[in-house]
Amino acid sequence: MTSPTGRAPGAARCSACEAVCCRLMVVLQPEDHIPEHLTTYLPSGLHVMKRGEDGWCVALNGARMNCGIYETRPSVCRRFVMNGPYCKAIRAEY
């Protein structure tokens, strides 16, 4: 069933979400070119986006709750689907 807006009732919208997916670990890929100060290496050697003490990715624009490097954001972030199963699961958990 969909609402008059065409979305399922309760469907998430990034514009009305606290960027919950930006609390997930973002593993960087060879094709990503992210400024070094925004990234870190885990003890395992994985290259990931750095997260702040608040749990959010340091590239998040906290005032607007959107990505501060949107045009050059990591490929993992580009593939993350609004209202996809993973989006729904992490929002439910949050």
Contact residues: ligand SF4, CB under 6 A: 12, 14, 17, 19-22, 26, 49, 57, 59-60, 67, 69, 73-74, 77, 80, 82, 87, 90-91
Residue 86 in contact with residue 49, Cβ under 8 Å? no
Question: Which one-letter amino acid corresponds to residue 39?
Answer: T
d(CA 27, CA 48): 4
Nearer to ligand SF4, 4 or 49 (CB): 49
Dihedral, 13, 14, 17, 19 alpha carbons, nearest 10: 150
Shortest reach from residue 4's CB to ligand SF4, in Å: 20
Shortest reach from residue 45's CB to ligand SF4, in Å: 20
